[in-house]
Amino acid sequence: MSKVRIGVAGANGAFGTKHLEALSCIDDAEITAVMATTLEKASGVGDRFKVPNRFQDFDALLACNDIDAVILATPTQLHAEQGLKAMNAGKHVLIEIPMSDSYANSEALVKKQEETQLVAMAGHVRRFNPSHQWMHQKIQAGALNIQQLDVQTYFFRRTNMNAKGEARSWTDHLLWHHACHTIDLFQYQCGEEISEVHAVQGPIHSDLGIAMDMAILMKTPSGKLCTLSLSFNNDGPIGTYFRYICDNGTYVASYDDLFDGNNEQVDVSGVAVSMNGIELIDREFVRAIRDGVEPNSSLRQCLPAMRVMHEIEQKMTN
């Protein structure tokens, strides 16, 4: 098979740019189309990455004969509709996290993938970060067994801005975005689905219309625990810190860095061909398309996380 021809929707956003940079490092991939909210923005990013086809309309992007697959770095509320359209158009699809903002729509996406047999992934990049992959390999080999995963996800947010400091057309969400990373990672690392979950949230922000603080406690059938604290009120260092408390050691992961319980850094540079998690997930997408196999982080594999988030939402709203 020749290079996989990929179109990126939401190409001018923070994560659209990350995917374009990552794809530029992959020999088996070719960026052949970009879509943004305006043709001017699409042309700007197209010029930067030397992409021939530029669009401001998603249907026009899908009609382009020069793409085999699409990456959706668009607002969460559009993910399900656009993912279904992409597969109906015969395009493989990688949907940035979360695949949808509802469990019903997530089920519809998985059903469509089963019908079409296309490659369909969700952007659960924590599965691919070298720090978490190092842990996964140790767990799979039986060298480590998780007792508790303690996670802190902290940001400071008062306005609806993205990672590039630009205004969003949609509102970010602690549960349906940030908690999604950890819920999926916990199940992936444990090799079990969550059997028990409890959650509480703080007051709803008057302008943003979302809870700014949230706490989630999860348990697997074998008794592994995950405690997750999330906040948009943290005025300090931002990001997510994962403390793996295991039977044979403690480790703290932050993005691509890993430290043991004594704060000694673990060398994870040899875990994968890159230290860039976005590049690694894009490489998996391209590999799955070329080899005709189910990828790590397929929609099917990530559906249990969507079920848990649905359960949490129901408990917090009832």
- pLDDT, position 37: 93
The pLDDT assigned to 165 comes to 61
* Alpha-carbon dihedral angle through residues 14, 20, 22, 23, given to the nearest 10 degrees: 160
Residue 171 pLDDT > 80, yes or no?
no
Residue 231 in this model has a pLDDT that exceeds 70:
yes
Residue 254: how many other CB atoms lie within 10 Å: 15
At 253 the three-state DSSP class reads strand
Give the pLDDT confidence of 33-87 residue by residue, as tens digits: 999 999 999 999 999 999 999 999 999 999 999 999 999 999 999 999 999 999 9
What pLDDT score does 161 carry? 61
The structure tokens listed for 33 are 């189309």
Q: Which fold has domain 4-124+277-297?
A: Rossmann fold (3.40.50)
Query: What separation, in Å, do the N-terminal and C-terminal C-alpha atoms of the chain show?
Result: 51
Segments making up each domain of the chain, as ranges:
4-124+277-297, 129-271
Bond before 75 cis per omega within 30 degrees: no
Confidence (pLDDT) at 166: 64
d(CA 193, CA 304): 7
- For the segment(s) 129-271, the CATH number from 3.40.50.970, 3.90.1640.20, 3.30.360.10, 3.40.50.300 is 3.30.360.10
What pTM value is reported for the model?
0.94
- Nearest 5°: phi and psi at 213? -140, 145
160 vs 101, residue with greater confidence: 101
Q: Does position 262 have pLDDT exceeding 90, yes or no?
A: yes
Per residue in 264-289, pLDDT (tens digit) is: 999 999 999 999 999 999 999 999 99
Over residues 178-227, the pLDDT tens digits come to 999 999 999 999 999 999 999 999 998 888 888 889 999 999 999 999 99
Instruction: Give the integer Cα–Cα distance in Å for 279 and 294.
Output: 18
